[in-house]
Every structure is written in C-alpha cells, then in structure tokens.
Amino acid sequence: MNYQKYKKFETIKLPDRTWPDNEITKAPIWTSVDLRDGNQALITPMKIEEKVMMFQLLVDMGFKEIEVGFPSSSQIEYDFLRILIDENLVPDDVTVQVLTQAREHLIRKTFESLEGLPKAIVHIYNSTSILQRDVVFHKGQDEIKKIAVEGVKLVKELAQEFKGEVLLEYSPESFTGTEVEYALEVCEAVMDEWEASSDKKVIINLPSTVEMSSPNVYADQIEWMCRNFKDRSRVIVSLHAHNDRGCGVAASELGIMAGADRVEGTLFGNGERTGNVDIITLALNMFTQGVNPELDCSKINDIKHVFEKVTKMEIPPRHPYVGQLVFTAFSGSHQDAINKGMQCYRERNAGIWEVPYLPIDPSDLGRQYEPIVRINSQSGKGGVSYVMDSMYGYHLPKGLQADFAKVIQDISEEEGEVSPERVYDTFVEQYVENNQPYKLIKQQLIDISEENEEHERKAVLILEDHGVVKEIIGYGNGPIDAVKDAFNSNGFIGSHLLDYSEHALTSGSSSKAAAYVHLRLKGSAIQEFGVGVHPNIATATIMAIVSGLNRLYQRKAGM
C-alpha cells in the first residue's frame, strides 16, 4: 500500500480555539435531507407514494425543516413537491426546503414548483473548493464567487414576485476543501447581495461534502467562520457532514460545540458513499446526556420499519440504538451485570438511568433488553405474542395470537429461527397492510340519529374494489354496524362480527390506536382476523374490517 501517494490535510491556525471547553446544552435546528440527499443515494430511488410515507414519518418525528428534493432536476421530484402542496400535506409549522444549483434555468424552475406554499427555504449551492476550481470548473476565485452572487441575485428577484415567504440558504459545496478565507469571502458576498440582517437571516450551510480530516479540524473551521462573519447575528450557521472517514457524528457534535445553529442529515445516515451524518444517533446521543433532542424517537422500531420499507435498505444489526443486536448481550458476565443493574434501578427508584453496558434505557425507544428473544418452530403463541406486546406494543387478542402463531410456525419450519423484526414485518404484511382486493381510500361516519328512527350512523366509504374506485354507503346503530352494512348490502363479501377490541399503541398528541376484528364469512365456518392502525380509532376500526374482509376473500378464493 503506497501511503506516500497521499498528503496530509492542511489544518488552519486556531491556537485559541474555544470549542473543546463547550458542551451541547440544547438541540440544534434539525433539517432532514432524506428525501433529497438520501434519496439520490438509493439504488432504487423512492416512488412518489414512498416519498409521501417518508415525509409523513419525518413530520411525525418532529422535523420542522424538511428538504423535499431537487424539483428542477427531474419530473418525479417536481411532481412530488406539487403533491405535497396541492394535497395540503405540509403542516403549518413545517417549512419545505428545495435544492438547486446556482444556475438561472434551474432556479426559475424551482420557483415554479413552489407556487402555493406560504413559506419555503430555497437552497442554492456551487462548489468552491481548490480541487474543483482546478479540475472541474477551470475558473478562478472571482469567477466562482460571481456564480454564487448571480444565483442569489436571481433568487432575490423571484422572491419579490413570489406570494409566500422565501428564506435563503447558501452552501459553498466542498467547504472543507476550500480556503476558509475564501469561503468567508463568498458567503459574505452572498449575504450582502441578499441584504441579510438580524431580522432577515441567511442560512449559511458549511458542508463537509467529503470528509477529509479528523473531526477536530472541521470544528476549527466552523469556529473560525463563526468568529469572522462581520455580523454573526445575520447568519444561521448550518452543518452538513458526510461520513467518508466514519466520523460524521463526531464532526457534527464538535461542530455544534464550535457554534453551529443547525444540522442537516438523514435517518440512520443514508447518503452518498458512506452516508450523511446520522440524525437519529446525534439526537439520541444528546438524549443520553440529559438534553431534549426535540425529535421523537420513542418508537424506533416503527421508524426503522418505514425507513427500510421505502429505501429498500437494511439497517446493520450493530447500528447504534436501532440495530437488532444493540440491546442483546451474548456474554454471560454482561448479561449478569445488566440484569443486576436493572434490578437495582427498579428497586432504588432513583430516576436516573445507570445500568452497566446499557447507555440508554431501551424502553425509551420502544425496545427492551433481552439476552435474546428466539422464535422457532417450537415457539407457541406465547412467544409470538410476547414479541408483539413487549417489543412493538400490540396486545393481540387470544384468537389472533393462535392464528398468527400458525403463520410464524410455517415460516420457521421452512427457514429456521425467526427474528423479532421478521415477526413484526410479517404481522404488518398479513394483518395491517393487507389491501387486496379491497383498499380503503376515504371514510366518513355521519350521525343521523335525529333524522332517522331506524339507524344512528351512516357510513360513506370510498375504496378500490379490484382496482376500481367505488363509493358505498351503509347504515347501522354504530360505526362498526354501519360499515359492515355498507359491505353486506352492496354486493361485497358478507361477514358476521365475532369480536372487536382496541387499544392505544403510543401516547401523546401523535398517538396511534390499534383495532382488531374477528369476522366469520356469511354462510360458512371460515373465520379471519383483521387489524387497523391509525391515529383516529374509527378509521383504524374500518381499516381492520377491510383487512379482515380481504383475508376472508383470499381464504374463500384459496389464495
């Protein structure tokens, strides 16, 4: 290995640096770039419906700034943003961010895509590094700076015509490979063109586009920039670290200590090459130090499930906090120490988490510590229901426990041991997301008790039936009765309700409920279960009925 072909990264002079003595005491402004930086790094980029699913996950977690894409780069990026706007999917407290190169036709196309938004961050960039100026652009410093300033000038002109509010973000791409003095010169020119002030701040994003040095050097660069802005009050300093040296989290933590206000990153570090900084790890690192991360990671398995579903990527088993094995101890001495530590924690009721080998209480993430939960062909309904209850919060009715245990037993007899994650994924696939041939699109339950002596509820359902959208109406003395009547009286597969139950899955304003139904096919002994999960319990119930009907249909058809 010819190490002499490489040269040491040149550090900057900052002998009086202050960041080593600083502490992280509050969360930065979090900005997710999963839908742009993360998506462009996928082998199979997300489809629009998957993008919507990811966007909703990010909103549910508490992100207030979300970069949704590069709408001027492709039609799917453009169409996705239009869906978010036209279908009113962007909450009032969430600001959409869009990326564009500092090029005229791309900037104009970007503003066209934003029409109808009350507020947006327009993020423009151009590369400023020594290497790219030399081998890619063949331009000098003044020419590169002019590209940035002309881009901002056009954004300012279009922002004046735009009906909503436009916030400017500028990135000197490959900042870490740029002379700090020149990076500062370009950023100041950008802010001057924008006429930035303490009341009209500019986000200056200082990306480690390629991680080129140890994290302390990035911190020095950030502190140098923060010190030397001529008016620090008009700048929101943002970090965007990549992970080429495996130090993205460390670099970002030190960058926050060095004065940064904001962090751009992705869930679980998905991104180009070795990835972006992992916001989940960053946030939970703060959490374990007693700092409110201002992101909800309390249902980490659900977050993992959605992420893997839309990205088609698997999270490694040793990934911090979320990996399958991070709360599993194989060593006997580790198991003994953990068990004794948890026993002392419960007995002393001290309120401060201190358990050997576990820097975080797994229950804070909706997980648990177990030496290992093993499910195989010899596991009965008790083992399967234990996994679903203790790890995922589903209190399965007894009949469903037995029904689902048979499904898992069939898998284990063919494949061997079944992981808890596989148990959960199978449950969701079989009972929650079973949407063929019927798929619920929209529902409305109307109280008609004052105008109808016979019935109290009217159910209006819009659904797909074998791919054809239909509207059906039913009446009953309650929501379930009305929904069943809508199916039974409109030529759909008929059923009798044998049992129903429900419970909350999570707590808080964004809580979800699980509803379970046990149905019997009319004129038959065939029985099936359906499960619905939704923040609205009525919707969850209807989804459960539709799932159960689909299972009855598939069973009857021998599918």
Q: What is the pLDDT of residues 463-479, one digit of tens each?
A: 999 999 999 999 998 88
SS3 18: coil
Task: Give the whole-angstrom CA distance, residue 114 versus residue 119.
Answer: 9
Instruction: Encode pLDDT of 9-26 as tens digits.
Output: 989 999 999 999 999 999
Cα–Cα distance for residue pair 366/279, rounded to 1 Å: 18
Phi then psi dihedrals of residue 95, to 5 deg: -105, 125
Tens-place pLDDT, residues 377-426: 665 666 687 778 877 889 999 999 999 989 998 998 888 878 888 999 99
* Apex 267 CA angle, 301 and 408, nearest 5: 25
Domains of the chain: 23-295+305-311 (3.20.20.70), 438-556 (3.30.160.270)
**What is the Cβ-side half-sphere exposure of residue 507, based on CA atoms within 13 angstroms?**
3
Among 276-285, 366-375, 394-403, the least confident range: 366-375
pLDDT at 118 exceeding the cut of 50 = yes
**Strand ordering across the sheet containing 438-447:** 438-447, 457-465, 468-476
65-69 vs 95-101, strand pairing mode: parallel
Q: Tell me the H-state helices in 288-419.
A: 300-311, 332-348, 381-390, 398-415
Residue 382 has a pLDDT of 66
84 in Cβ contact with 66 (< 8 Å): no
Confidence of residue 430 (pLDDT cuts 50, 70, 90): very high
DSSP letter assigned to residue 10: P
Burial 491-500 (b: 16+ CB within 10 A, else e): ebbbbeeeee
What pLDDT sits at residue 553?
Answer: 93
